[in-house]
């Protein structure tokens, strides 16, 4: 080590990555490997000691690829970026996505800069790179942590094969408002479920060794409160109390920090008047201080500069000062750090120690990724050719997709004297109807990485592949969902949907097809770009003429299965009251049609459960199961905490999901009725499959702290287990309740268990009545 440092001092222009390679050949990210951690810290210190101020500030700068980096920059702005890269005054780039492009961008740094500090390349890989998995909200409906981990692992393999080492995922924002378009990107309304799913995704992306060239760095976003924007509006103001912040918003982020997530991203929103990007309390005091997390924080796109529009910063210089002092390490596309930090340092408005801390954190992640060992370790053309969109990856995508489907309703119909699903493969005729029935693009959803336009398997294709040879299939689109078509090459992100409200010319043909068929599969819901960033809505029902089509088809054939494709909870109250069967299919990704057909025809017994509540109407939003009692929870009078024109509960609650078999629960059993604050109680329940089909059930554990120093939710998810039960089989499912289960952020502003009375429920949804009681002393 002394020899290496001496070489650095004598020959500062030597290639740093070559010298560091002599220290060790690989860098593992296993959390408890103290020797590896110490080795990385020595390397980081060695590099930091050689850097001048411009090079340090440069590491804190991230550019988007606004030109084809495989060729020379054309515009003045891009020429400026190119020169900064050559000087080694850029730390990261995003949206550079191919081995060739990554190699060329890296070469600008490695062949021209003084210290040869490699770039880290990032990209929004939200639910797959080219093989597209269900949107995160849909995938969360699987409640299957292993397949969620596996889908992130596949995404990491494909992303790294394309040269990229960093994804801006998972989104850990707890989301209670269906109006918020970005609800599709998270795990729903519950902090416990969001924590478990977030950790599964982080483990899938990062694996057990971040230096392997088939893993990528994950990013926990958005820190914090983004999903609580007023009125469900994206980027909007957040007003929540300190205790709600800690109890409802922060748990998934703390779990991510403890799981060793490489990076965090701060948030666009403000909380209680302070933009998250300028929140020292969140970033420097809590995340880096109390939680002792050692990765780096990247701003969201231009969130540093946007503090000017917030009315919190006077100009970019002031914004850069606020962001750095708060603990924001890397500036994504604000150009504030590169322009202002040197002047701020001269004026003593920022500290060199904070700049060094930011750079140290960024270098640490680059060492963990093995970029100093080999800046081109991810630039493998053979991997890019052979490990993206493979048959194996598509098979995994199909498995994840079918497990993400939720059977919301499956009532007996008079004509059949049984439920419509599962369909028999010998059914004589099926009408496949709807604007989404033969849509090969909508199933890809928003934030589809490098998913190719029109590459998904449509519902119609899936049904044709699964139905018997003698089954007659009628297809009619019925209506166009939108009135304006966006060309495949255009940036869909920049276009708002314009819905068809006048052209009914196809409805008569759809009605005719429905009349002829034994059963109708009606594919309706949302276009892929109705949800996602910037896609907040005040109406969450069926847009355009879909409701009219639904009612016209149902009028002539009551055997209707709604195949719902969507990215948010929707107002489907009319359908729930009238249509016998509703299958929640989300936007399921590349293998959507095959996965839906697997469920429709009973090749897979649906096992999904809702990670978010479905309302009776939009006026109930925000809506969530773990609300507070209030002083007037229920009454036969009008003076209680409810509505005069709608129920206060959900149409389909959190945790709800049916099966083609029936599960029954025995009484909740506790091994004792009392426990100490630092003790534990074993909770057990006997679960039986009473039906004739094998099936998986998500057994859910909820608790309530009846009296606290703060008012507590009426019910909180604190455990779950997904288990397979054969027809007629029974199993005893057990959970342990301990300090971790019962603690909350109390009125004393600390996490602790308070003594008192508790309820515990175990069942198949958040509405279970299967209860026991215990006392904590």
- Residue 56 predicted with pLDDT over 80: yes
* Residue 461 pLDDT: 98
Residue 265's nearest CA partner among 240, 289, 282 is 282
- Within 8 A by CB and 6+ apart from 691, the residues are 659, 660, 661, 662, 727
Give residue-wise pLDDT tens across range 543-569. 999 999 999 999 999 999 999 999 999
Give residue-wise pLDDT tens across range 305-320. 999 999 999 999 999 9
Handedness of CA 279, 281, 285, 287 (dihedral sign): negative
Catalytic positions: 300
As a whole number of angstroms, the longest Cα–Cα distance in the chain is: 88
**Rounded mean pLDDT of 614-629?**
98
Tokens of 377: 């370790």
- Residue 30 predicted with pLDDT over 70: no
- Residue 295 predicted with pLDDT over 80: yes
**Rounded mean pLDDT of 497-501?**
91
**Rounded mean pLDDT of 483-509?**
81
Give residue-wise pLDDT tens across range 474-488. 999 999 999 876 666
* Residue 494 pLDDT: 65
* Residue 37 pLDDT: 87
Give residue-wise pLDDT tens across range 141-190. 999 999 999 999 999 999 999 999 999 999 999 999 999 999 999 999 99
70-84, 289-303, 593-607: which has the minimum mean pLDDT?
A: 70-84
Rounded to whole angstroms, the Cα distance separating 11 from 2 reads: 14
* Residue 10 pLDDT: 34
* Residue 489 pLDDT: 59
Give residue-wise pLDDT tens across range 708-748. 999 999 999 999 999 999 999 999 999 999 999 999 999 99
**Rounded mean pLDDT of 280-303?**
98
pLDDT band at 627 (very low <50, low <70, confident <90, very high): very high
Q: Report the chain's mean pLDDT, rounded to a whole number.
A: 94
- Residue 12 predicted with pLDDT over 80: no
For 466, the 3-state DSSP assignment is helix
Backbone angles phi, psi at 686, to 5 degrees: -95, 125
- Residue 17 predicted with pLDDT over 70: no
**Rounded mean pLDDT of 373-396?**
98
pLDDT band at 72 (very low <50, low <70, confident <90, very high): confident
- Residue 96 predicted with pLDDT over 70: yes
* Residue 487 pLDDT: 65
- Residue 25 predicted with pLDDT over 90: no
Which residue do the tokens 């020899």 mark? 3
- Within 8 A by CB and 6+ apart from 385, the residues are none
Residues in the chain: 777
Tokens of 248: 């409802």
**DSSP secondary structure code for residue 283 in this structure:** I
- Within 8 A by CB and 6+ apart from 219, the residues are 122, 166, 167, 168, 169, 170, 261, 262, 263, 264, 265, 298
The domains found in the chain, sorted by start residue, are: 53-117 (no CATH), 400-620 (3.40.50.1700), 663-776 (2.60.40.10)
- Residue 19 predicted with pLDDT over 90: no
**DSSP secondary structure code for residue 328 in this structure:** -
* Residue 69 pLDDT: 82
Rounded to whole angstroms, the Cα distance separating 26 from 212 reads: 8
* Residue 491 pLDDT: 65
The pTM (predicted TM-score) of the whole model is 0.95
């Amino acid at each position: 080590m002394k020899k290496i440092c001496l070489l650095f001092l004598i020959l500062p222009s030597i290639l740093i990555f070559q010298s560091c390679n002599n220290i060790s050949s690989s860098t593992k990210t296993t959390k408890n490997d103290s020797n590896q951690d110490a080795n990385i810290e020595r390397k980081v210190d060695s590099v930091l000691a050689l850097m001048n101020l411009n090079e340090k500030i440069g590491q804190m700068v991230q550019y988007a690829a606004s030109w084809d980096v495989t060729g020379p920059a054309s515009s003045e702005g891009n020429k400026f970026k190119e020169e900064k890269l050559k000087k080694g005054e850029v730390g990261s780039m995003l949206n550079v996505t191919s081995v060739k492009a990554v190699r060329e961008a890296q070469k600008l740094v490695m062949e021209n800069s003084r210290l040869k500090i490699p770039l880290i390349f990032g990209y929004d890989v939200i639910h797959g790179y080219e093989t597209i998995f269900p949107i995160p909200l849909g995938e969360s409906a699987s409640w299957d942590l292993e397949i969620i981990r596996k889908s992130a692992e596949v995404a990491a393999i494909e992303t790294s094969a394309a040269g990229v080492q960093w994804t801006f995922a998972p989104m850990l924002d707890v989301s209670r408002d269906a109006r918020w378009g970005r609800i599709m990107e998270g795990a729903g309304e519950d902090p416990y479920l969001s924590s478990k799913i977030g950790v599964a995704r982080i483990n899938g992306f990062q694996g057990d060794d971040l230096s392997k060239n088939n893993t990528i760095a994950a990013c926990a976003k958005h820190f914090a409160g983004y999903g609580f924007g007023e009125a469900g509006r994206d980027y909007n103001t957040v007003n929540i109390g300190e205790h709600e912040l800690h109890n409802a918003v922060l748990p998934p982020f703390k779990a991510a920090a403890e799981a060793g997530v490489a990076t965090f991203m701060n948030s666009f929103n403000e909380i209680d008047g302070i933009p998250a990007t300028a929140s020292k309390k969140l970033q420097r005091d809590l995340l880096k201080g109390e939680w002792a997390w050692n990765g780096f924080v990247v701003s969201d796109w231009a969130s540093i500069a946007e503090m000017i529009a917030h009315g919190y910063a006077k100009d970019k210089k002031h914004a850069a000062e606020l962001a750095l002092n708060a603990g924001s390490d890397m500036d994504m596309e604000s150009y504030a750090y590169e322009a202002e930090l040197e002047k701020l340092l001269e004026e003593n408005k920022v500290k060199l120690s904070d700049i060094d801390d930011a750079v140290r954190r960024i270098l640490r992640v680059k060492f963990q990724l093995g970029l100093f060992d080999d800046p081109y370790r991810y630039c493998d053309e053979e991997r890019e050719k052979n490990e993206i969109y493979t048959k194996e990856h598509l098979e995994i995508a199909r498995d994840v997709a079918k497990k993400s489907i939720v059977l919301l309703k499956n009532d007996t119909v008079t004509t059949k004297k049984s439920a419509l699903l599962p369909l028999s493969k010998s059914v004589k005729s099926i009408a496949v109807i709807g604007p989404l029935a033969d849509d090969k693009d909508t199933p890809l959803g928003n934030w589809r990485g490098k998913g190719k336009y029109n590459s998904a398997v449509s519902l119609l294709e899936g049904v044709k592949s699964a139905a018997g040879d003698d089954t007659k299939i009628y297809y009619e689109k019925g209506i166009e969902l939108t009135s304006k078509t966006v060309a495949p090459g255009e940036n869909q992100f920049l276009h708002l949907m314009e819905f068809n409200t006048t052209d009914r010319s196809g409805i008569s043909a759809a009605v005719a097809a429905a009349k002829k068929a034994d059963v109708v599969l009606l594919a309706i819901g949302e276009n892929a770009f109705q949800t996602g960033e910037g896609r907040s809505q005040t109406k969450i029902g069926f847009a355009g003429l879909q409701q009219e089509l639904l009612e016209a088809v149902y009028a002539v054939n009551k055997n209707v299965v709604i195949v719902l494709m969507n990215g948010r909870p929707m107002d489907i109250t009319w359908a729930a009251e009238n249509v016998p069967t509703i299958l929640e299919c989300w936007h399921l990704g590349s293998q959507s049609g095959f996965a839906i057909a697997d469920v429709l025809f009973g090749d897979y017994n649906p096992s999904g459960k809702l990670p978010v509540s479905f309302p009776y109407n939009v006026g109930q939003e925000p809506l969530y199961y773990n609300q507070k009692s209030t002083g007037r929870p229920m009454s036969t009078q009008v003076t209680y905490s409810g509505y005069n024109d709608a129920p206060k509960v959900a149409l389909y609650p959190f945790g709800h999901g049916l099966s083609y078999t029936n599960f029954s629960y025995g009484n909740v059993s506790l091994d004792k009725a009392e426990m100490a604050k630092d003790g534990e109680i074993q909770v057990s329940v006997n679960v039986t499959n009473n039906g004739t089909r094998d099936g998986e059930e998500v057994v859910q554990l909820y608790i309530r702290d009846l009296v606290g120093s703060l008012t507590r939710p009426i019910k909180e998810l604190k455990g779950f287990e997904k288990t397979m039960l054969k027809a007629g089989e029974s199993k005893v499912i057990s959970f342990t309740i301990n300090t971790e289960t019962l603690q909350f952020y109390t009125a004393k502003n600390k996490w602790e268990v308070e003594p008192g009375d508790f309820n515990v429920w175990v069942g198949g949804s958040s509405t279970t009545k299967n209860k026991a009681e215990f006392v904590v002393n």
